[in-house]
Amino acid sequence: MTDALTDKARAEALVELTGWSLVPGREAITRTYAFASFADAIGFMVRAAIHADRIDHHPEWTNVYRKVHVTLTSHDIGGLSQRDVELARILDKLT
Amino acid sequence: MTDALTDKARAEALVELTGWSLVPGREAITRTYAFASFADAIGFMVRAAIHADRIDHHPEWTNVYRKVHVTLTSHDIGGLSQRDVELARILDKLT
């Protein structure tokens, strides 16, 4: 079972995850990545998708041309968990 | 230059494009595709992305697990054009 982040763990995660912010009114974090081209944006999504599926934790994400807006939350607990932090770290490493 | 659809062409396109609907308050059409798996949803996006880039007309689209929500509009004219109809047809053929 996924555990919700404690307040302390959440605060620490947000300090660590530069570029990510809390979604107003929602237990979720978000980041927008900008790439040099549409092909680069889709390439990122493909690489990220394989990692996400491997850890069985999937982003909500929107692509508009060269940009990818990512939102992470743990639907099973209706909040943020260590799995969101893990996926955010993976995505950041891919860029 | 992209031309906006005439009212008649737009009405005909919406009859032809089963499953697509106008976005309330916006000159855009939208459709949600549901797939059997996350991998299938991403696979669709990859195939669609290659076609979209070839015709240089790009969707706004959101993936949430097995679903892909697509919105099409022609940003250069701030409305719907034949290019949106063309891309919608391509996406439908890929599913």
What is the C-alpha separation between B63 and A3, in angstroms, rounded? 25
- Which ipTM score applies to this complex? 0.95
pLDDT of residue A3: 86
What pTM was computed for the model?
A: 0.95
**pLDDT tens, position by position, B3-58:** 899 999 999 999 999 999 999 999 999 999 999 999 999 999 999 999 999 999 99
Distance (Å, rounded) from C-alpha B39 to C-alpha B47?
Answer: 12
pLDDT attached to residue A2 = 78
Query: Rounded to a whole number, what is the distance in Å from the CA of B57 to chain A's nearest CA?
Result: 9
Q: Is B64 in the A-facing interface, judged by CB distances under 8 Å?
A: yes
Task: Spell out the alpha helix ranges (H) of chain B.
Answer: 7-16, 38-54, 82-94
Interface of B with A in 1-30 (CB under 8 A): none
Give dist(CA A72, CA A42) in Å, integer.
Answer: 18
pLDDT at A1: 60
Q: Domains in chain A, ordered, with CATH?
A: 7-93 (3.30.1360.20)
Q: Give the contacts of A88 (CB within 8 A, at least 6 positions apart).
A: A13, A17, A20, A29, A31, A72
Cross-chain CB nearest to A62 (options B49, B53, B60) = B60
Alpha-carbon span B28 to B57, nearest angstrom: 14
Residues of chain A contacting residue B72, judged by C-beta atoms under 8 Å apart: none
> Which of B53, B58, B62 is facing A62, going by the closest CB pair?
B62
Amino acid in position B32: T
Q: Is pLDDT above 80 for B1? A: no
Q: Other CB atoms closer than 10 Å to residue A74's CB: what's the count?
A: 20
Express each pLDDT in B58-92 by its tens digit.
999 999 999 999 999 999 999 999 999 999 999 99
Residue in B32, B57, B58 to test binding to A, most A beta-carbons within 10 Å? B58
CA distance readout (Å), A89 to A14, A26, A32, A49, B20: 11, 20, 14, 14, 36
* Phi, psi (degrees; rounded to nearest 5) at B89: -60, -45
